[in-house]
Amino acid sequence: MEAALRVFRKELLQVFRDRKLVFTTLLLPVLLMPFFMFAPTLLMGRLVQEAAAKAQEVAVAGLPEEAWKALEAARIKPVNDPDPEGAVREGRYPAGVVFREGVYRVYGRLAAGFTESQVVVEKVRGALQTLKEAQVAEALKRLGVPLEVLTPFGVEVVDASPPQERAGGLLGFLVPFFLMIFILIGSQVVAVDATAGEKEKGTLEALLVAPIPLFQVALGKTLATVAVGLLSGVAGLLGLLLGGAVSARLGADLLGASGEVGVLGGRVDLDGGAFLALFLSAFLFALLVGAVMVALGLYARSFKEAQGYVAPLQLLVLLPLLFLQFRGFFEVEAWHHLIPFFNVGLLLDALLKGSATPLEVGLTWASTLVYALLALGLAVWVFGREDVVFRN
């Protein structure tokens, strides 16, 4: 194993000599993840709050006096217009209201994503709903009917999620997703350069003629890929957790009692055993990804071709991860933990929620280790094929 460790150190030394690579792979995620993940949400919260507090002009037609006053009470300025719908379509007003045959029809530009028009439409709807309830209450009062008849019982929805799952918030989904994505990104940098890159530079031949078993050469390159992949994953998680902490602190200030933005932050609450299981799962995933990438890089004729082989692998990992957000709609079976890549995502999600069982952990670790050893064996086999290693 000493030879494998020498290859491992050689590859890591080449990586850390490249300062640009270290900055983009290990430092940049810590700096940019908080901004890209949570700054848009915080900005949206600020814009929604300002739009809700602002008094906007709204095109109206045929409005009764009580509706006019209700809109003014909701910080909305009604403006008479013969065609409110056309005025909204042309962008002259964010919303419009027409009262005809006992129906209030509210117009807004609702198909262009979340805009100020949607905020104003909700303000108008809320004002008219308040007016409706006031008129109903007045009618019941004239008839001598108590208001309680409208609410014969109450309904209260209580979150019964386990404390660890509730505390995680959105981070409970984002942590497994981005951990695996950043491991992929970091692994690709080393695997492609240590294989196809060395082919192009002509240094792979010198390594192969050295008295080192092919297995140890492949193992050393794979371990270097695993190490940088894990470091990249940790860097991405640090940025994600930092952004979550900032979002949780600033969210309450932006949206007040609603807490809509604050819940996006969440926190990761793991004991020592769960943290160790999380790290071991990430290590096995990185080992599988590294071995596969080393095999693909050795098979490729050039650096560019190797990148073309690795890109579908990233999609192969990304697509199953997207199904994690629908985990609550299907029952997880034991065989799901035998599916490559997807099983690690399932286990990471369960560990963060505190719901992982020993069977799930054992199946995921055992199957991922077997797949990684098979991929490593494939890399060794490719190393032994001169027609593959030396082709260009």
Q: What is the pLDDT of residues 267-292, one digit of tens each?
A: 666 677 888 998 999 999 999 999 99
Structure tokens at 338: 């035998």
Q: Residue 314, exposed/middle/buried by CB under 10 A (0-12, 13-18, 19+)? A: middle
End-to-end Cα separation, the chain, in angstroms = 30
Question: Which residue has tokens 């080449």?
Answer: 14
Structure tokens at 293: 């990438």
Question: What pLDDT is recorded for position 268?
Answer: 64
Question: What pLDDT is recorded for position 272?
Answer: 79
Residue 371 in contact with residue 362, Cβ under 8 Å?
Answer: no
Return d(Cα 16, Cα 229) in angstroms, integer.
13
Residue 297 in contact with residue 382, Cβ under 8 Å?
Answer: no
Beta strands 103-108 and 56-61, pairing class? unpaired
Q: What is the dihedral of CA 318, 320, 326, 331, to 10 degrees?
A: -160
C-alpha angle 285/287/293, rounded to 5°?
100
Mean pLDDT (whole number) for 63-76: 92
Structure tokens at 65: 């006096």
Phi-psi region of 99 (alpha: psi -120 to 50; beta: other; left: phi over 0): beta
287 bridge partner residues? none
107 bridge partner residues? 96
Question: What pLDDT is recorded for position 43?
Answer: 74
Which range among 145-149, 161-165, 253-257, 374-378 shows the weakest confidence by mean pLDDT? Answer: 253-257
Statement: residue 53 has pLDDT above 70: yes
Statement: residue 163 has pLDDT above 80: no
Strand ranges across the sheet with 95-100: 76-80, 56-61, 95-100, 103-108
Structure tokens at 224: 């270097």
**Could you tell me the pLDDT band of residue 327, with boundaries at 50, 70 and 90?**
confident
Q: Could you tell me the pTM of the whole model?
A: 0.75
Percent of the chain with pLDDT strictly greater than 90:
32
Which range among 130-139, 181-190, 273-282, 298-307 shows the weakest confidence by mean pLDDT? Answer: 298-307
Which range among 75-89, 132-146, 162-176, 304-318 shows the weakest confidence by mean pLDDT? Answer: 162-176
What mean pLDDT, rounded, does the chain reach? 83
